Amino acid sequence: MSSTPGILFLDLDDTLLNARKEVTRENDKALREASAQGHRIVITTGRPLAATIPLARQLRLYAPGCCIVAFNGALIWDCGEEKAIFHDALARDDMLYLYREARKAGIHVQVYDMEHVLSDRDCHELRAYSKRIGIEAVVDPDLPESLTGDTTKVLFIDEHNFERLDAFRQACQEWAGDRLSLFFSNSALLECVNAGISKGSAVRFMADYYGVPIERTVAAGDQENDIPMILAAGTGCAMKNAIPTVKEAADYVTENDCENSGVAEIIRKFLLDR
Q: For 198-230, what is each residue's pLDDT tens digit?
A: 999 999 999 999 999 999 999 999 999 999 999
Where does the pLDDT of residue 1 fall: very low under 50, low under 70, confident under 90, or very high at 90 and above?
very low
Residues 132 and 151 in one domain: yes
pLDDT score for 4:
82
How far apart are alpha carbons 270 and 162 in whole angstroms?
36
Beta bridge partners of 8: 41, 218
Per-residue pLDDT of 103-137, as tens digits, reads: 999 999 999 988 999 999 999 999 999 999 999 99
Residues 70 and 187 in one domain: no
Q: What is the mean pLDDT of the chain?
A: 95
Q: Which domain holds residue 217?
A: 7-88+197-270
pLDDT score for 130:
96
Question: Which residues, at least 6 apart from 27, have a Cβ–Cβ distance to it below 8 Å?
Answer: 16, 261, 263, 264
User: With contact defined as beta carbons under 8 Å apart, do 147 and 116 qualify?
Assistant: no
The angle at the Cα of 143, spanning 224 to 164, to the nearest 5 degrees, equals: 40
Residues 204 and 75 in one domain: yes
Closest CA to 156 of 42, 180, 87: 180
Question: Which residues, at least 6 apart from 149, have a Cβ–Cβ distance to it below 8 Å?
Answer: 113, 114
SS3 state of residue 244 = helix
What φ, ψ does residue 167 adopt, rounded to 5°?
-65, -40
Residues 98 and 182 in one domain: yes
Residues 125 and 66 in one domain: no
- Count of domains for the chain: 2
**pLDDT higher than 60, residue 2:** no
Question: Does residue 166 lie in a domain region?
Answer: yes
Question: Does residue 185 lie in a domain region?
Answer: yes
- When pLDDT is averaged across residues 20-35 and rounded to a whole number, the result is 96
Residues 11 and 143 in one domain: no
Closest CA to 200 of 180, 217, 182, 179: 217
Last residue of a domain, one of 194, 215, 239: 194
CATH number at residue 188: 3.30.1240.10
Residues 97 and 143 in one domain: yes
CATH number at residue 233: 3.40.50.1000
Residues 189 and 96 in one domain: yes
Per-residue pLDDT of 173-206, as tens digits, reads: 999 999 999 999 889 999 999 999 999 999 999 9
Question: Does residue 128 lie in a domain region?
Answer: yes
Last residue of a domain, one of 194, 221, 245: 194
